[in-house]
Chains A and B, each alone.
Chain A
Amino acid sequence: MDQELLLWVRGAGLQIATAVFVLGMSYRMLHLLMLGRKKSLAAARGSEWAGGLRTMWRRSFVLPELSPRGRFTVVSGYLFHIGFFVTFFFLSQHIALLRAVLGFGWPALPRGVIDIAAVLSLAAMIALLAHRLVDPVKRLLSDFQDYLTWTLSFLPLLTGFMLLREIGFEYVTLLTLHIASVELLLVAAPFTKLAHMFSTFIARWYSGAANGFKGIDA
């Protein structure tokens, strides 16, 4: 693959993708919030904000007792998300890029840790996909978007890992593929269920606020 394509992908391409992501996601979240809700006229027993913030935080950690299939989903889900975030935020190359954009950076994690995180994340994703195909509940719920977003999330991890290890293709090709796959993810995120990366916290706030209003510690 030629250098020119790489230049476009890492230059204008990345800028366009980032702009679509930022503008699209802002629009999606604002559009959602602007639907509003009726303020309850009932007498409050507790605080909406306290409940909302508590659930935003706590729902990441506190889950009810789970069945074996539920445990599988939760463990794989954690592994995938943590692995994804660790590789995204703590690989030295990523930090360098973010430093160029943001003007500040943070210490990177050693390559060995990143490798482990990436492999665990990839393995968890494959396990989750397999589970989606065989588990009767997930199979019933799943639609095209579930598989599309799985693919869009899997490709950056896969190409990134191949790039670090220089597996399969030459460096320029792998770098081009990696950045392009990230761009696809960025462009699709605001318009697919990948938007849950932000809307989850809004959902948790509303849910927690409703409980907080009633004075329920949940």
Chain B
Amino acid sequence: MSTSLQRGIASFIGQIDAPMASFFTSCVHCGLCADACLFYTETQDPKYTPIHKLEPLRRVWQQEYTFWGKLMKKAGLSKPVTDEELAEWEPLVYDSCTLCGRCSLACPVGNDIVYMVRKMREGMVASGHAPEGLKGATQRAVELGSPMGVNINTLRAQIKHAEKETGLTVPLDVEGADYMLVLSSAEVADYPEVISAVTRIFQQAGVSWTIASDGFEGTNSGIQIGSSDLAAELLGRIVRAAERLKVKYVISPECGHAYTALRWEGPNLIGRPYPFEVVHIIELLDQLRSEGRLKTEGMDETRMTFHDPCQMVRRGGVVEQPRNLMHMVAPNFVEMPDAGVQNWCCGGGGGVSANHRAEPVRLQVFSRKKAQLDAIDVKTIVTSCSNCRTMLMDGLEHNHMPHEVVGLTELVAAHLADDKGGNTP
């Protein structure tokens, strides 16, 4: 057995806790999770059944933690997990799972299947079976500070641009601010208009905020590849910056896994609770709305819908807030079938978008999103995750669909009341 395989198996064994054991014990192989997974529904290939993606991990559990499994192992009758098998499973665990968590809601015995996939990835990384694309993204994040190679100079350039556009100052490294805004690389690189939007909204609402030059990148490839060590390293930068600037709140960007990393996994990764609170930008905007500090004027009559980012909605519990904001400015807002916690993934979450090998299957399963969109006939799709946004545009392009994709924060900012600065897009 190779050392990397040994490391992987040891990691699998270490991942098994009471929830995992109860999940594996309870699975009766009913196959209902298949219907919840877009990789199965859109391909009808049984290998994409969510629980099947965990087969090597299940066998390790059986061989190490159950009476018969241990007996069979002693008798030499059990099938050990091999490097070849893990290599075969790599595309199932990474390319065809976006960690969207829809299967976890479908399981009749209550198995949180995506919790197990997330844990299985820890063993996959340890054994050297992670996709090159995701390895590269994680390496860039650790070495350069961002999976897309965005650095502080890129951010400074975007800030300068936003300041020119809005006529306002974008606060950088302001100690004692209430809120520290974190961004995703995709926002800095591809959707910098969000910086102007947030600046104008916060100006109107009177929010005391800052961006940290040493902790602005929220994208956490460590979570996606399944390496808690690297995830902790990336997250630690944000935590240290927030502590240095003594902020009360850290704002998670419009990025699904950044929210999961910051809000839910973060304190566990660094091994202690935060001295600050984490809010999603959409949560904060809705709070400002309910406090009467966020005021909009005018309506966008375009027929539009909202695409729920899995990590913010199904796995994050921020469900009503984006809808409250939509209703402020979009009288012709319509919901897709299965909207809310049952929404279908864009197809590129959980590291799939960084994994080039996964592109064909990702575009194939976009047919589910296409069907959802075909059912409602809208012009514009609003979302609140920069990765969803890119994946939606990619899928729409691939299918020659004319929809426009907009970020929710920018949509709200475009209708800001009494806005003195800048042009509305």
* A, B bound: yes
B290 contacts chain A at the CB level, 8 A cutoff: no
A74 touches B32 (CB 8 A): yes
B32 touches A73 (CB 8 A): yes
Chain A residues contacting B277 (CB-CB under 8 Å) are: 43
- Given known A-B contacts A32-B18, A32-B22, A191-B67, A200 and B316 have beta carbons under 8 A apart: no
A136 touches B109 (CB 8 A): no
Complex Cα spacing A206 to B106, Å: 15
CB contact between B18 and one of A34, A45, A200 (< 8 Å): that residue: A34
CB contact between B110 and one of A77, A192, A204 (< 8 Å): that residue: A204
B46 touches A136 (CB 8 A): yes
A204 touches B109 (CB 8 A): yes
Chain A residues contacting B314 (CB-CB under 8 Å) are: 216, 218
Stretch at the interface among A62-70, A101-109, A177-185: A62-70
B317 touches A45 (CB 8 A): yes
B57 contacts chain A at the CB level, 8 A cutoff: no
B400 contacts chain A at the CB level, 8 A cutoff: no
Complex Cα spacing A137 to B317, Å: 31
CB contact between A64 and one of B23, B68, B115, B342 (< 8 Å): that residue: B342
Interface size class of B (residues with CB under 8 A): 35 or more
A66 touches B18 (CB 8 A): no
CB contact between B23 and one of A46, A195, A203 (< 8 Å): that residue: A203
A196 touches B110 (CB 8 A): no
B36 contacts chain A at the CB level, 8 A cutoff: yes
- Given known A-B contacts A36-B17, A203-B109, A137 and B31 have beta carbons under 8 A apart: yes
* A36 to chain B: closest residue by CB: B18
A66 touches B271 (CB 8 A): no
Least Cβ–Cβ distance between A138 and chain B, in angstroms: 5
A156 contacts chain B at the CB level, 8 A cutoff: no
Complex Cα spacing A139 to B31, Å: 9
Chain A residues contacting B206 (CB-CB under 8 Å) are: none
CB contact between A210 and one of B112, B263, B338 (< 8 Å): that residue: B112
- The winner among A40, A140, A142, A195 for most chain B CB atoms within 10 A is A140
A218 touches B105 (CB 8 A): yes
B317 touches A64 (CB 8 A): no
Least Cβ–Cβ distance between A61 and chain B, in angstroms: 10
A40 touches B32 (CB 8 A): no
- Given known A-B contacts A37-B17, A140-B52, A204-B110, A66 and B267 have beta carbons under 8 A apart: no
A37 touches B18 (CB 8 A): yes
Chain A residues contacting B302 (CB-CB under 8 Å) are: none
A207 touches B35 (CB 8 A): no
| Chain B contact surface mostly | helix
Chain A residues contacting B278 (CB-CB under 8 Å) are: 43
Chain A residues contacting B68 (CB-CB under 8 Å) are: 191-192
A193 contacts chain B at the CB level, 8 A cutoff: yes
Least Cβ–Cβ distance between B347 and chain A, in angstroms: 19
A146 touches B29 (CB 8 A): yes
A196 touches B28 (CB 8 A): yes
CB contact between A206 and one of B32, B34, B112, B342 (< 8 Å): that residue: B112
- Given known A-B contacts A33-B18, A36-B18, A38-B17, A59 and B110 have beta carbons under 8 A apart: yes
Complex Cα spacing A55 to B18, Å: 17
A35 contacts chain B at the CB level, 8 A cutoff: yes
Complex Cα spacing A206 to B315, Å: 15
Complex Cα spacing A209 to B418, Å: 44
A215 contacts chain B at the CB level, 8 A cutoff: yes
- The winner among B66, B108, B266, B315 for most chain A CB atoms within 10 A is B108
A40 touches B264 (CB 8 A): yes
Apart from A193-B25, A195-B26, 11 more pairs, CB < 8 Å? A32-B18, A37-B19, A38-B17, A38-B268, A59-B109, A64-B105, A196-B25, A200-B109, A203-B112, A204-B109, A216-B315
